[in-house]
């Protein structure tokens, strides 16, 4: 046997680059559930259950396709289990001539793998992850010499490269971006079909029992587990979304509602990031729906931008700026993460809903993450690394390459404006405009100061005041600081006093 091929839990793709470097006659595949990866952050129970079940199903599919596979379950790898230990065991047993692995999605793992050649005394080939549109080299070429890195311009290059929503050399509809049309408030009575739900089979039920026993203290509930765990099921979920939700996705992608956890969001990032769905195929399917006249352009473009624009862009930022990016803290925020992020026990209705949903589903859509849990942490001065670890732990689609730039860059402005041109700070007025949360809240969104005022209101202006020296010169922040300058001294004093009182209680 010539090749040992290690396949990771987010590499559940049949066309993996490492598999293309070998063949079934000379390769032994290795997949392993190990405690080191399952516990380096306190992962949500449903995230763990999804990962283990999807891995087991993928392993079965590889065997059915004729590959020789060693699959090590968590029960076999034990409390001290690690990928390196399982590789060492497989090397000793099979005596391969080389080790193949597709590049992992986390810097820490790649650095460890780069030491394996010396550790195991055999060649180790880390193959590029070709499931992405832009290679590291392409992103570096695009970024070279630019004073600012902005997703919009990178996205245009991805449109040109893929040909998606292009008419010759011009974008369909005459514009690259229809985001301005995608911020509508939800009409009263609007309902959505929700994501495709898959009933757990025996393999998944076994995994649910394992997670319930081994990770009893972790956040989350295992009831009502509905994630797809095979490629076939994930493709059904994609087709369901294209038919039932994509037509409405554009208009309402920024909306939030108490009774609609998913709205028109795809919930497909879970499957794309694990390798069960091909992102480019999904983007092409959305384009086909637009060309067939079943989906408006702003909906198709909005989804495609998230897949080939934002998803690719944050990956480029991550690999270009690591190591060190995850230590970013440009605003010097040091407050601990509030305990209610783990329990949902807060009087703020918007955060209670978003965190409660996270506890139950291991999912919240991107506006809930950015403009609720993210914005509160930003305004309150929470240490960005604490929020980063929370997001990485609690969301089923979170892997560091995609989660860290979204959290540290876009949400917390911890990279000082590398990824986003301004902090995503907002008051209660935004939440009230884009959701129905405020109607059922103990706080009053119209009040700016005092015990009954929405905390987002005074925390917003306190944030503006705290960071005036750094942010006032930002062109996009100029109007905000002019409004702050026009406020009466007594009003400013009341705002900052309300913020101080709230944050002292929060501590």
Average pLDDT in the 275-290 region? 98
Question: How many C-beta neighbours within 10 Å does residue 57 have?
Answer: 22
Predicted local confidence at residue 185, as pLDDT = 85
Tell me the CATH number for domain 136-195+245-321. 1.25.40.80
pLDDT band at 166 (very low <50, low <70, confident <90, very high): very high
Give the dihedral of Cα atoms 237, 239, 240, 245; nearest 10 deg.
110
The Cβ of residue 473 has, within 10 Å, a number of other Cβ atoms equal to 10
Per-residue model confidence (pLDDT) at position 75: 95
How many C-beta atoms lie closer than 10 Å to residue 293's C-beta?
7
Residue 1 has pLDDT above 90, yes or no: no
Q: What is the pLDDT of residue 9?
A: 98
Using the predicted structure, report yes or no on whether residue 507 has a pLDDT greater than 90.
Answer: no
Q: Please tell me the predicted confidence (pLDDT) of residue 179.
A: 85
Rounded-to-integer distance, Cα 21 and Cα 315, Å: 24
Look at residue 392 in the predicted model and tell me its pLDDT: 98
**Phi-psi region for residue 447, left (φ > 0), alpha (ψ -120 to 50) or beta?**
beta
Residue 4, classed as helix, strand or coil, is: strand
Contact 149, 421 (CB under 8 A): no
What tokens were used for 302?
A: 């909005």
Measured N-to-C along each axis, helices 297-304 and 279-291 cross at an angle, to the nearest 10 degrees, of 170
Split at pLDDT 50, 70, 90, the class of 148 is confident
186 token code pair: 């939800």
Q: Which CATH architecture has domain 3-127?
A: 3-Layer(aba) Sandwich (3.40)
- pLDDT tens digits, one per residue of 301-339: 999 999 999 999 999 999 999 999 999 999 999 999 999
Report the pLDDT value the prediction gives residue 147, as an integer from 0 to 100.
83
181 or 169, greater pLDDT: 169
User: What whole-number percentage of the chain has pLDDT above 70?
Assistant: 100
Q: Where in the chain is the domain with CATH 1.10.579.10?
A: 340-506
Contact call for residues 257 and 217 (beta carbons, < 8 A): no
Q: What is the spatial distance between Cα 465 and Cα 459, in angstroms, rounded to a whole number?
A: 10
Helix (H) or strand (E) holding 308: none
Give CA–CA dist 112/4, Å, rounded. 17
CB atoms within 10 A of CB 246: 24
What Rg value do the Cα atoms of the chain yield, rounded? Answer: 23
Compute the mean pLDDT over every residue in the chain, rounded to the nearest whole number. Answer: 96
| pLDDT at 121 > cutoff 90 | yes
Quick one: pLDDT at residue 319? 98
What confidence tens digit (pLDDT) does each residue in 52-90 have? 999 999 999 999 999 999 999 999 999 999 999 999 999
Higher pLDDT, residue 438 or 182: 438
Helices (H), 130-252: 136-143, 151-162, 202-214, 231-244, 246-252
How far is residue 202 from each of residues 206, 211, 228, measured CA to CA in Å?
A: 6, 14, 13
**Stated pTM of the model:** 0.96
Give me the CATH topology for the region 340-506: DNA Cyclobutane Dipyrimidine Photolyase, subunit A; domain 3 (1.10.579)
Closest CA to 328 of 437, 230, 404: 404
pLDDT (tens digit per residue) in 426-478:
999 999 999 999 999 999 999 999 999 999 999 999 999 999 999 999 999 99
Q: Which residues share a beta bridge with 4?
A: 28, 99
Q: Parallel, antiparallel, or unpaired: how do β-strands 170-171 and 166-167 relate?
A: antiparallel
3-state secondary structure of 36: helix
CA 205/CA 29 separation, integer angstroms? 25
What confidence tier does 181 reach under pLDDT thresholds 50, 70, 90?
confident
Percent of the chain scoring above 90 in pLDDT: 95
Report residue 188's pLDDT band, with 50, 70 and 90 as the boundaries: confident
Please answer whether residues 264 and 240 qualify as being in contact, where contact means their C-beta atoms are separated by less than 8 angstroms: no
Rounded distance between C-alpha atoms, residue 120 and residue 108, angstroms: 18
| Helix-, strand-, coil-residue percentages of the chain, each rounded to 5 | 55, 5, 40
What pLDDT is recorded for position 189? 85
Length of the chain: 507
Give the model's pLDDT for residue 159. Answer: 98
Q: Which of 255, 221, 276, 218 is nearest to 365 (CA)?
A: 255
Task: Look up residue 120 and give its two tokens.
Answer: 């195991």
């Amino acid at each position: 046997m010539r090749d040992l091929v290690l396949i990771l839990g987010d590499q559940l793709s049949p066309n993996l680059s490492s598999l293309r470097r070998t063949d079934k006659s000379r390769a032994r595949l290795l997949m392993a559930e190990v405690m080191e990866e399952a516990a380096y952050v306190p992962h949500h129970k449903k995230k763990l259950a999804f990962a283990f079940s999807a891995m087991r199903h993928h392993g079965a599919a590889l065997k059915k396709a004729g590959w020789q596979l060693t699959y090590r379950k968590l029960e076999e790898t034990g409390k001290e289990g690690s990928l390196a230990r399982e590789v060492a065991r497989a090397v000793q047993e099979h005596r391969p001539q080389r080790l193949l692995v597709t590049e992992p999605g986390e810097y820490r793992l790649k650095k460890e793998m780069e030491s394996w050649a010396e550790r195991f005394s055999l060649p180790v080939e880390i193959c590029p992850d070709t499931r992405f549109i832009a290679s590291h080299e392409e992103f570096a070429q695009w970024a070279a010499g630019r004073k600012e890195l902005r997703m919009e311009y990178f996205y245009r290059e991805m449109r040109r490269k893929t040909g998606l929503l292009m008419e010759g050399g011009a974008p369909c509809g005459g514009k690259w971006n229809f985001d301005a049309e995608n911020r509508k408030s939800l009409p009263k009575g609007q309902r959505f079909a929700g994501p495709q739900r898959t009933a757990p089979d025996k393999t998944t039920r076994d995994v649910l029992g394992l997670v319930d026993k081994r990770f009893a203290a972790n956040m989350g509930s295992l009831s009502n587990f509905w994630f797809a765990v095979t490629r076939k099921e994930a493709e059904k979920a994609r087709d369901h979304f294209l038919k039932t939700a994509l037509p409405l996705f554009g208009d309402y992608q920024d909306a939030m509602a108490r009774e609609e956890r998913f709205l028109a969001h795809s919930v497909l990032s879970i499957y794309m990031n694990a390798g069960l769905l091909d992102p480019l195929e999904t983007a092409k399917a959305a384009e086909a729906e637009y060309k067939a006249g079943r989906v408006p352009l702003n909906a198709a473009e909005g989804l495609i931008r998230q897949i080939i624009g934002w998803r690719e862009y944050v990956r480029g930022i991550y690999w270009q700026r690591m190591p060190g990016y995850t230590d970013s803290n440009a605003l010097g925020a040091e407050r601990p993460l509030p305990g209610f992020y783990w329990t949902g026990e807060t009087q703020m209705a918007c955060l209670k809903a978003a965190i409660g949903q996270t506890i139950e589903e291991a999912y919240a859509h991107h506006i809930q993450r950015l403009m609720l849990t993210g914005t509160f942490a930003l305004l309150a001065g929470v240490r960005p690394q604490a929020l980063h670890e929370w997001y990485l732990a609690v969301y089923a689609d979170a892997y560091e390459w995609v989660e860290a730039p979204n959290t540290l860059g876009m949400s917390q402005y911890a990279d000082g404006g590398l990824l986003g041109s301004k902090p995503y700070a907002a008051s209660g007025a935004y939440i009230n405009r884009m959701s129905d949360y405020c109607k059922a809240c103990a706080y009053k969104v119209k009040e700016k100061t005092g015990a009954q005022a929405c905390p987002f209101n005074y925390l917003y202006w306190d944030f503006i005041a705290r960071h005036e020296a750094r942010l006032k010169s930002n062109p996009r922040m100029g109007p905000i600081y002019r409004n702050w300058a026009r406020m009466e001294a007594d009003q400013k004093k009341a705002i900052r006093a309300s913020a101080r009182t709230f944050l002292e209680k929060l501590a």
